[in-house]
């Protein structure tokens, strides 16, 4: 069939773009091989954050006595109910989107795997569809690292872990980064023994060492064991479970193995060669600042272009493409600042550069730090784990980056993000009166105590 536009992937950018294009009077084919909503809705942000919420309730309930609250007995975990709650939240989002895509005038919702047969033609379920505009939002998947024996054991990725029938007795996790750490804490709080194996010498190694260390200590305090700078020499079946042998180290007998060792764009089976669309060694489709591929009329959005690995960056890709094509604007991907959170409890909110990155970029630095033990609200809540930190350019007085590991850190860090986007000096924030008692109110104080870094 002939369309005005083909959108591949109903993840975080595809559907919004399809709705905009249809509203502009265009005939759109929306092609999706899996459930609508993609990774975020089905196997990523939404289910994991419902689990984080359940795990936090369990954690606080165990600490109830600290707050003078008495419970009649032991705190228990009803995994089928935890899972049912998660699945209900996911279903609400996925089913609403499925319905909208199937009922919007101008959109033909095609279920199946799309593959290029020519620069402006794709095949799905044996049928060919062509359009002058093609938008790729195909996402990414978990990769299996080259660990000897991994193919012989029933390892889990983030999607399969969400479908287990009971809380693991002992969950071993390959990879101590965003996915590994969120799941580690969740399942520890549900009662599993948890062991992390990470090849880097520290957890979440993209962050500054003091942040890695604070997160390590926070997880260790909950009983999570981390093997750092560790390599798995071999994995084998061990009855119903898995036996991991570390190079020069101990053996770990686990009931379940989660692999959270990185993700790769879904571009190996897209027929990109037939269209002449280039990608890099990691599988990311090469795009310019407006997310155009090197084939005119073909764009790549979201995780498959390697320019962001988050729901908000994919959504921003949609905004950029829609504004440039339909609103006559000239928006660019390089206008956005890096920002994300690690949703452990407490979370890590992050914007801009780390201190190490700022130093490497050649900036003269001022650095501010404040432990959460000196944040009134954290003390009042009994949640004093973590610290806040800001990195400032000593010459321009612009904030270059910030991290807040602490209660409400994922929210409070936005004050610094907004200031950075506005392009104003840190002194503006330092002189802004904030609400007491909040975590945000200590940001001006921290900025008033900057030290040469
Ligand atoms: C466990 C986990 C937790 C996460 N938590 C967060 C978080 O808290 N915050 C955050 O910002 N990000 C989080 N992320 C990352 C976030 O989920 C992704 O960055 C985001 O979903 C990417 O959106 P996307 O549209 O680029 O890709 P996806 O959402 O993956 O969408 C791609 C879609 O394309 C479809 N598709 C692929 N190839 C084809 C084809 N050839 N034909 C037809 N359809 C195809 C797929 O089925 C999929 O539905 C998390 C990820 C994981 C794995
Ligand atoms: N809160 C969030 O926004 C959120 C949450 C989860 C995931 N995500 C997204 O998902 C992406 C992927 O996350 P991820 O944690 O899988 O990957 P990652 O690329 O962030 O980290 C992979 C980790 O695995 C380690 N590793 C690699 N091979 C290993 C091996 N053989 N043994 C032990 N460790 C090994 C690496 O050193 C690294 O620390 C992230 O980039 C992130 O954007 C975001």
Q: pLDDT by residue (tens digit) across 337-383? A: 999 999 999 999 999 999 999 999 999 999 999 999 999 999 999 99
- Position 141 pLDDT exceeds 90: yes
Q: Which residues in 127-152 are b (16+ Cβ under 10 Å) and which e?
A: eebbbebbbbbbbbbbeeeebebbee
Q: Which ligand 1 atom sits closest to the C-alpha of 113?
A: 42
- Region 5-141+264-335: CATH code: 3.50.50.60
pLDDT band of residue 249 (cuts 50, 70, 90) is: confident
CA atoms within 13 A on the CB side of 358: 23
- Position 284 pLDDT exceeds 80: yes
- Across 186-192, average pLDDT: 98
Q: Which ligand 2 atom sits closest to the C-alpha of 204?
A: 39
- Determine the topology of domain 150-261 in CATH: FAD/NAD(P)-binding domain (3.50.50)
SS3 430: helix
Q: Which ligand 2 atom sits closest to the C-alpha of 175?
A: 24
- Position 435 pLDDT exceeds 90: yes
- Position 326 pLDDT exceeds 90: yes
- Position 163 pLDDT exceeds 80: yes
Two tokens, residue 64 = 């109830």
pLDDT at 58: 98
| Cα dihedral sign, 71-73-75-80 | negative
| Ligand positioned closest to the Cα atom of 199 | 2
Distance CA 55, CA 77 (A): 9
**Does the beta carbon of 6 sit less than 6 angstroms from any atom of ligand 1?**
no
Give CA angle at 47 (189, 252), nearest 5°: 45
List, in order, residues 6 or more apart from 115 with CB less than 8 Å away.
Answer: 122, 123, 124, 269, 270, 271, 274
**Does the beta carbon of 147 sit less than 6 angstroms from any atom of ligand 2?**
yes
What kind and span of H or E run contains 21?
A: helix 14-23
pLDDT in tens, 290-324: 999 999 999 999 999 999 999 999 999 999 999 99
**Does the beta carbon of 34 sit less than 6 angstroms from any atom of ligand 1?**
yes
Distance CA 122, CA 94 (A): 25
> Please, where in the chain does CATH 3.50.50.60 lie?
5-141+264-335, 150-261
Tell me which CATH homologous superfamily contains domain 340-452.
Answer: FAD/NAD-linked reductase, C-terminal dimerisation domain (3.30.390.30)
**Does the beta carbon of 262 sit less than 6 angstroms from any atom of ligand 2?**
yes
Residue 416: name the closest of 433, 438, 398, 395 by CA. Answer: 398
- Across 161-178, average pLDDT: 98
- Across 35-63, average pLDDT: 98
Report the largest interatomic distance among the alpha carbons of the chain, rounded to a whole angstrom.
Answer: 68
SS3 13: coil
- Across 254-265, average pLDDT: 98
**Does the beta carbon of 352 sit less than 6 angstroms from any atom of ligand 1?**
no
- Across 103-109, average pLDDT: 98
| Ligand positioned closest to the Cα atom of 270 | 1
Mean residue pLDDT of the chain comes to: 98
- Atom 8 of ligand 1 has which residue's CA nearest to it? 45
List, in order, residues 6 or more apart from 62 with CB less than 8 Å away.
Answer: 75
Judge whether 237 and 243 are in contact, CB under 8 Å: yes
> Please, where in the chain does CATH 3.30.390.30 lie?
340-452
- Position 237 pLDDT exceeds 90: yes
Q: Which ligand 2 atom sits closest to the C-alpha of 341?
A: 1
- Position 96 pLDDT exceeds 90: yes
Our answer to whether residue 436 is catalytic in this structure is yes
Which of 311, 316, 343, 344 for mutating ligand 1's site (highest number of atoms within 8 Å of CB)? 311
Which of 12, 40, 263 for mutating ligand 2's site (highest number of atoms within 8 Å of CB)? 263
pLDDT at 250: 87
| Ligand positioned closest to the Cα atom of 36 | 1
pLDDT at 282: 97
């Amino acid at each position: 069939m002939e369309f005005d536009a083909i959108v591949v992937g109903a993840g975080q950018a595809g559907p919004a773009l399809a709705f905009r294009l249809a509203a502009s009077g265009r005939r759109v084919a929306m092609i999706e091989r899996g459930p609508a909503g993609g990774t975020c809705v089905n196997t990523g942000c939404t289910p994991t954050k419902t689990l984080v919420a359940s795990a936090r309730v369990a954690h606080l309930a165990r600490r109830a006595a600290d707050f003078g609250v008495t419970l009649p007995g032991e705190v228990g975990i009803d995994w089928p109910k935890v899972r049912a709650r998660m699945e209900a939240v996911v279903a609400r989002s996925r089913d609403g989107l499925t319905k909208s895509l199937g009922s919007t005038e101008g959109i033909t919702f095609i279920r199946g795997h799309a593959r290029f047969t020519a620069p402006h033609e794709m095949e799905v379920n044996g049928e060919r569809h062509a359009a002058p505009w093609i938008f790729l939002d195909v996402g990414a998947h978990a990769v299996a690292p080259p660990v000897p024996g991994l193919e012989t054991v029933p390892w889990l990725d983030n999607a399969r872990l969400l479908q287990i029938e009971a809380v693991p007795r002992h969950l071993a996790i390959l990879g101590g980064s965003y996915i590994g750490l969120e799941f580690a804490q969740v399942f520890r709080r549900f009662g599993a023994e948890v062991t992390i194996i990470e090849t880097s010498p520290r957890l979440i190694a993209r962050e500054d060492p003091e942040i890695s260390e604070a997160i390590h200590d926070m997880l260790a305090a909950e009983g999570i064991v981390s093997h750092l700078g560790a390599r798995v020499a071999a994995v084998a079946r061990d009855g119903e479970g898995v036996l991991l042998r570390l190079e020069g180290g101990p053996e770990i007998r686990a009931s379940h193995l989660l692999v959270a060792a990185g993700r790769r764009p879904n571009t190996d089976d897209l027929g990109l060669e037939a269209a002449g669309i280039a990608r890099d060694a990691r599988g990311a489709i090469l795009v310019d600042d407006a997310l155009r591929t090197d084939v005119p009329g073909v764009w790549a959005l979201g995780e498959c272009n390697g320019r962001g690995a988050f729901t908000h960056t994919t959504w921003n890709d949609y905004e950029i493409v829609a504004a440039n094509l339909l609103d006559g604007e000239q928006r660019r991907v390089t206008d956005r600042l890096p920002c994300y959170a690690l949703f452990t409890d407490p979370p890590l909110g992050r914007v801009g550069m780390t201190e190490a990155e700022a130093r490497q970029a050649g900036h003269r630095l001022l650095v501010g730090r404040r432990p959460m033990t000196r944040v009134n609200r954290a003390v009042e809540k009994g949640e004093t784990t973590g610290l806040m930190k800001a990195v400032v350019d000593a010459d321009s007085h612009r904030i270059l980056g910030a991290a807040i590991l602490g209660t409400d850190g994922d929210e409070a860090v936005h004050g610094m993000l907004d200031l950075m986007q506005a392009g104003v000096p840190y002194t503006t924030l330092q002189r802004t009166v904030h609400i007491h008692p909040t975590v945000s109110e200590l940001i001006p104080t921290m900025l008033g105590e900057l030290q040469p870094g």
